[in-house]
C-alpha cells in the first residue's frame, strides 16, 4: 500500500493533531515520566521571576503548570492554551483540584491566538506542530513582550552517526503530530526571531533544548 503523502495545509494538520490527541489524552500523562528532567530544565531556562506572566504554548494536560507557577509565584500568572478539548479537559481538572487562582486555561489554536495580553516568557515543551507553522510562530511572538524569554524542548533527528535511527524518530513523531517532518531543525521558524538563540542536544541527539529572547523587531512587536 503506498504511503499517504504528508498533509500540507494548516486546517488538515490541525484536524489530524486534534484527532490524535483525542485518542492519546487519557494515557498522555503516564507516558511523560522519562522526559520529566527535560521539562524541569526547560522551565529553568526561562528564569521566571515572581510576579511575571508566562504562556504555556500547547499546554496539553497542564503537566508543566505547577513548575511554571512555582517560578512566577502566587502573584504571577500562568496561561496555558491548547486546541485539543480532551487534553484541556485534564488541564482544567488539574487547576480545579489544586485550586490555582492564577492559572488560566484557554481552548484555542496557536495560529489564531486572540489573547490581549503580552507575556514575559513563552514556554514550548514538545510542541512540534506549532513550531512547524510560521503562522503560529508569528501569532505567538506577537503575544510576547519585547525581550521576553523563550524556552523550547522537543524532538529532532539524530545526528549523522545515528541517522539510521531517524525513520524510527519520524514514525514516533508522526504518531503525535499532523506535520511530523522538519526534524533536522524543528526550531528553524523561530530561531532567527530570537536574540541570543542557544541550542543543545538532549537524549543522545534525538532531543533539543533551546532558548533566547524575543527580538524587539520581531513581527508583531510594538515599535
Ligand X SMILES: C[S@@+](CC[C@H](N)C(=O)[O-])C[C@H]1O[C@@H](n2cnc3c(N)ncnc32)[C@H](O)[C@@H]1O
- Residue 69: strand, helix, or coil: helix
User: Which cell goes with 180?
Assistant: 511530523
Q: Could you give the residue ranges of the DSSP H alpha helices within the chain? A: 10-28, 36-45, 65-72, 85-98, 128-131, 134-141, 166-174, 188-191
Which residue in 46, 76, 82, 122 binds ligand X (CB under 6 A)?
A: 82
By CB under 6 A, tell whether 126 contacts ligand X.
Answer: yes
By CB under 6 A, tell whether 127 contacts ligand X.
Answer: yes
Residue whose CB is nearest to ligand X in the complex, by number: 60
Which among 47-55, 58-66, 142-150, 200-208 is the span making contact with ligand X, rule CB under 6 A? 58-66
By CB under 6 A, tell whether 78 contacts ligand X.
Answer: no
Nearer to ligand X by Cβ, of 27 and 51: the residue is 27
Which among 60-68, 166-174, 198-206, 212-220 is the span making contact with ligand X, rule CB under 6 A? 60-68
- Binding mask of the shown chain, residues 6 to 45, with x at each position contacting ligand X by CB under 6 A: --------x--x---x----------x-------------
- Residue 21: strand, helix, or coil: helix
Instruction: Report in angstroms how near the CB of residue 216 gets to ligand X at its nearest.
Output: 26
Please work out, in degrees rounded to the nearest 5, the angle formed at the alpha carbon of residue 196 by the alpha carbons of 155 and 111.
55
Residue 153: closest CA among 36, 3, 48? 36
Nearer to ligand X by Cβ, of 55 and 148: the residue is 55
Residue 150: closest CA among 45, 37, 40, 41? 45
Nearer to ligand X by Cβ, of 24 and 199: the residue is 24
Strand order through the sheet with 207-214: 103-107, 77-82, 53-57, 119-125, 144-155, 207-214, 194-202
Number of residues that bind ligand X (CB under 6 A): 23
Instruction: Report in angstroms how near the CB of residue 214 gets to ligand X at its nearest.
Output: 19
The footprint of ligand X (CB under 6 A) covers 14, 17, 21, 32, 58-60, 63-64, 82-84, 87, 109-111, 125-127, 129-130, 136, 176
Amino acid at each position: 500500500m503506498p504511503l499517504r503523502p504528508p498533509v500540507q495545509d494548516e486546517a488538515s494538520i490541525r484536524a489530524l493533531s486534534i484527532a490524535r490527541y483525542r485518542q492519546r489524552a487519557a494515557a498522555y500523562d503516564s507516558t511523560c515520566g522519562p522526559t520529566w528532567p527535560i521539562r524541569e530544565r526547560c522551565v529553568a531556562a526561562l528564569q521566571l521571576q515572581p510576579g511575571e506572566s508566562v504562556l504555556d504554548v500547547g499546554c496539553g494536560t497542564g503537566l508543566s503548570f505547577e513548575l511554571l507557577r512555582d517560578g512566577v509565584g502566587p502573584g504571577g500568572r500562568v496561561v496555558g492554551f491548547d486546541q485539543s478539548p480532551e487534553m484541556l479537559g485534564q488541564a482544567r481538572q488539574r487547576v480545579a483540584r489544586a485550586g490555582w487562582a492564577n492559572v488560566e486555561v484557554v481552548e484555542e489554536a496557536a495560529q489564531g491566538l486572540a489573547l490581549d495580553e503580552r507575556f514575559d516568557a513563552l514556554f514550548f515543551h514538545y510542541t512540534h506542530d506549532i513550531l512547524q507553522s510560521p503562522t503560529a510562530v508569528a501569532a505567538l511572538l506577537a503575544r510576547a513582550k519585547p525581550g521576553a524569554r523563550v524556552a523550547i524542548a522537543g524532538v529532532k533527528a539524530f545526528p549523522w552517526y545515528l541517522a539510521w535511527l531517524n525513520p524510527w524518530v519520524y514514525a514516533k513523531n508522526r504518531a503525535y503530530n499532523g506535520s511530523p517532518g522538519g526534524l533536522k531543525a524543528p526550531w528553524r521558524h523561530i530561531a532567527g526571531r530570537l536574540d541570543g538563540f542557544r541550542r543543545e542536544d538532549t537524549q543522545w541527539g534525538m532531543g533539543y533544548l533551546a532558548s533566547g529572547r524575543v527580538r524587539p523587531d520581531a513581527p508583531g512587536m510594538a515599535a
